[in-house]
Amino acid sequence: MASTDARPGALKRFGRLFRDALSGEEHDFTKGDLRVGVGLLAIPMVLEMSMESVFGVVDVFFVARLGSDAVAAVGLTEALLILIYAIGFGLGVPAMSLVAQRVGERRLDDAAVTAVQVVGIALAIAVVLGVPGLLFAGQLLAMMGGSPEVVAMGTGYATVMFLSAPSIVLLFTLGSVLRGAGDAAGAMRALWLANGINIVLDPCLIFGLGPFPELGLVGAAIATTIGRSAGVLYQLARLRSGARGLVVRGHHLRVRPDVIRQLMKMSIGGIGQNLVETASWLLLIRIVSPFGSTVLAGYTIALRVLVFAMMPAWGMASAAATLVGQNLGAGHPDRAERAVWLCGWYVTAFLWAFALGMLVFDHALVALFTSDPDVIAAGADCIRIIAYGYVLYGWGMVMIQAFNGSGHTGVPLVLNVVCFWLVKLPLAYALAVPLGHGPSGVWIAVTLAYVLSAVLGIVLFRRGGWRVAVG
């Protein structure tokens, strides 16, 4: 009888927690029940990252109606944009860490100054990276191994996507600032807005529904760009109106060389770790592309399905970064460590559930996007092999975020160099080409590399060097 009564009580508590998390309920993450703190951060972060993964899934869902060459063009363009994503994500690492530490120290004015410097750095980097891609989109697609048909179809798409570099970088970095301040709900709403616009505009601009022009693949890029830009405007408005006491005012809008130097120093590890990982995917797609557009299309669809699970898990793991940063800033390293282990178990349970579903429905998931049996077979093979590694992927994510939250961004950088450049790439090529396993060999190498990253991350975290915050 007691257990029956307890269940409604537990559901009621979770419902209240869920409601508070979505409403952005004010909370001090340096004290109180850790499970509540993790929930208030993780719930909106999971929903936020789910929205980010929806971006890719929605685009491929509609683009697949244009044929395998169109899907391959999107895959190659995403591989080229990985550098811009890496900069945005990597710059967000020190931004989240420093803002979280300043909030934990109750230095909100310094947190606002940090946010302003991050925006300036992000815009400068976006221009530097976006202009070359804008000017040489077609040549870059050809360099990546795209067929003449793929290059012809994808050049316009890639041009618009490179033009959107500022919105890509700012969406990542400003989201990190909000999460570091504890305003995970604000970061989540920005992605909801961006995705809502993208979902509505995608079919309209691709197929010319109603009063909209039929722009084909270029329409998908325009829809995504408009959505992301709207999300950025919401984030900026959120910072102006106040997030967890972090309010950007006019007197913060000045260049602070000392803060810029600190951010750039810390961002070497943050940007570096993402560049290393994403560059490995860039080279990986170069290994896959000689197997043809069918395999490349299957890989592109499979990656979107896999990311659909990984992004929410990454959002859950990001709660560890905020909790580590704020609790180290408040002088509570033991609480920070407990938060990391708690997040690790939550993320692992989440990924196990997704892995089981993907192993059972691998072909059906790819078939949602295409009816081509060869593309379905290639994509299902990729999903099935990589899903086996979900047993440990979650721990790797949480350990990386724990180091990032403490400002020790160099540790994940070294981990990524070892696991993704020294292990994944050579092993992928060896298994795929000389040993004759083809694309399956690539997927096996990816799985082994991420499992190794998780194991090494746990070992390094247990050594405890992260307990002394950097920044």
Q: What pLDDT, on the 0 to 100 scale, is given for residue 55?
A: 67
Asked whether residue 218 is domain-assigned, the answer is yes
What's the DSSP call for residue 418? I
Asked whether residue 1 is domain-assigned, the answer is no
Give me the domain span that covers residue 53: 30-467
| Rounded Cα gap, residues 212 and 200, in angstroms | 12
State residue 271 phi and psi, 5-degree precision.
-70, -40
Asked whether residue 339 is domain-assigned, the answer is yes
Where on the phi/psi map is residue 205: left (φ > 0), alpha (ψ -120 to 50), or beta?
Answer: alpha
Q: What pLDDT, on the 0 to 100 scale, is given for residue 2?
A: 47
Q: What pLDDT, on the 0 to 100 scale, is given for residue 252?
A: 78
One digit per residue, pLDDT tens: the chain, 471 residues? 444 445 556 677 778 877 877 776 677 788 888 888 888 888 888 887 777 667 667 777 888 888 888 888 888 888 788 778 878 887 888 888 888 888 888 888 888 888 889 889 988 988 888 888 888 888 988 887 778 888 888 899 999 999 999 999 999 899 989 988 888 888 889 988 998 899 899 999 999 998 999 999 999 999 999 999 999 999 998 888 765 667 888 777 888 888 888 888 887 887 788 778 877 877 888 888 888 888 888 888 888 788 777 877 887 888 898 899 889 988 899 999 999 999 999 999 989 998 999 999 999 999 988 888 999 999 999 999 999 988 888 899 999 999 998 888 889 999 999 999 999 999 999 999 999 899 999 999 999 999 999 999 999 999 998 998 776
Asked whether residue 7 is domain-assigned, the answer is no
Q: What pLDDT, on the 0 to 100 scale, is given for residue 418?
A: 95
Sign of CA dihedral 202, 85, 301, 354: negative
Cβ-based neighbours of 181, under 8 Å, separated by 6 or more: 99, 100, 103, 111, 243, 244, 245, 246
| Rounded Cα gap, residues 157 and 220, in angstroms | 8
Asked whether residue 19 is domain-assigned, the answer is no
What's the DSSP call for residue 243? B
How many domains are contained in the chain? 1
Q: Quick one: tokens of 248?
A: 């950007």
Q: Could you tell me if 219 and 202 are in contact, meaning their C-beta atoms sit under 8 angstroms apart?
A: yes
| Rounded Cα gap, residues 246 and 71, in angstroms | 42
Q: Is residue 246 helix, strand or coil?
A: strand
Residue 6's Cα: distance from chain center in Å? 37
Q: Is residue 371 helix, strand or coil?
A: coil
Q: What pLDDT, on the 0 to 100 scale, is given for residue 269?
A: 82
| Rounded Cα gap, residues 135 and 130, in angstroms | 9
Where on the phi/psi map is residue 36: left (φ > 0), alpha (ψ -120 to 50), or beta?
Answer: alpha
The position carrying tokens 């990597």 is 90
User: pTM for the whole thing?
Assistant: 0.76
Asked whether residue 388 is domain-assigned, the answer is yes
Asked whether residue 12 is domain-assigned, the answer is no
| Rounded Cα gap, residues 181 and 325, in angstroms | 10
Q: What pLDDT, on the 0 to 100 scale, is given for residue 8?
A: 57
Asked whether residue 461 is domain-assigned, the answer is yes
